[in-house]
Amino acid sequence: MSAITVQLADYKVNTKPTWCPGCGDYAVLTGVTRALVGAGKKPEDVAVVSGIGCSSNLPHFLKAYGIHSLHGRALPVATGIKLANPDLTVIATGGDGDGYGIGVGHFLHAMRRNLDITYVVMNNEIYGLTTGQTSPTSLIGHKTKSTPFGNIENPINPVGLALMAGASFVARGFSGDAKGLAELIQKGVEHKGFSFIDVQSPCVTYNKLNTYDWFRERVYNLQEKGHDKEDFSAAVQRAIEWPTVGPEDKVPVGIFYQTQKPTYEEGERAYQVGNPVKRKLGVTAEQRTALMADLY
């Protein structure tokens, strides 16, 4: 019997993306879809969760289980789905305002738990949906609707946060390299543990500073430079290279760090008796006896 293959057409829906022409999120949608196909994931085995923002419309545009949740709350919802049915491949998507602003607390705690989910953030250094205000990743000096004289706040370093919080797969991609981005997301999906991928996804309408050309002058591939993704100290050194402020900025992309360690699901005793959504309710007499023995 031949193995079942997954095709790009399996993820096709009739709903057309509503992003501005040229938006970097198109490449992320393509990357996520190609990653799922490359990893052999069937649509009925995938759940995609998002928060609020332009990027958070992504679950509407591919065929899989999808939840468009509340602002900043994609990760708690994704966590609930994964814990209820660990057999699902769970992907959370969102933007820099959604994930690094209102959702930053969830961001940190999901990573330290090392849940087996993938989080893809479309980082455009601006609030796009609300038409161009400063976001948590806007660079110092960036003039926006909310900072007409230039942003004076230091930008968050998402890759640095991910490393310190304990994510076991930490990467950065660029929408200007669709093929490389798809490969990067696939590696994240196939990784067992929390996979974080920060994607530089230019907003062509409201961010006139961090454009495709701006990034193309600065991005370089970590793996092509011989970076050891298993070296945590080296990953930290690469992570602090950007965001900074200055004409000599370089933006590393690729896998900063990857390691294997027990996932949250592997440590949770509830799964020793099977997938919660696939087992009968209640406990057996033997399970009750064992539970009481542990408690007393």
179-197, pLDDT tens digit by residue? Answer: 999 999 999 999 999 999 9
What's the mean pLDDT in 231-258?
A: 90
Question: In the chain, what is the straight-line distance between the N-terminal and C-terminal CA atoms, in Å?
Answer: 52
Percent of the chain with pLDDT over 90: 86
Q: Which residues pair with 89 in a beta bridge?
A: 46
pLDDT (tens digit, 9 = 90+) per residue, 141-151? 999 999 999 99
pLDDT (tens digit, 9 = 90+) per residue, 264-279? 999 988 888 888 888 8
Q: Is CATH 3.40.1000.10 the right assignment for the domain spanning 8-265?
A: no
- Identify the CA nearest to 157 among candidates 172, 143, 145, 168: 172
- Identify the CA nearest to 122 among candidates 23, 264, 221, 188: 23
For residue 294, what pLDDT band results from cuts at 50, 70 and 90?
confident
For residue 2, what pLDDT band results from cuts at 50, 70 and 90?
very low
Tokens 């196939």 label which residue?
A: 190
* Helices marked H in the chain: 25-38, 74-84, 96-97, 104-113, 158-165, 178-190, 212-216, 232-239, 264-267, 285-295
- By 3-state DSSP, what share of the chain in percent is helix, strand and coil, each rounded to 5? 40, 15, 45
What's the mean pLDDT in 136-145?
A: 95
Residue spans of the domains in the chain: they are: 8-265
Is residue 43 predicted with pLDDT exceeding 80?
yes
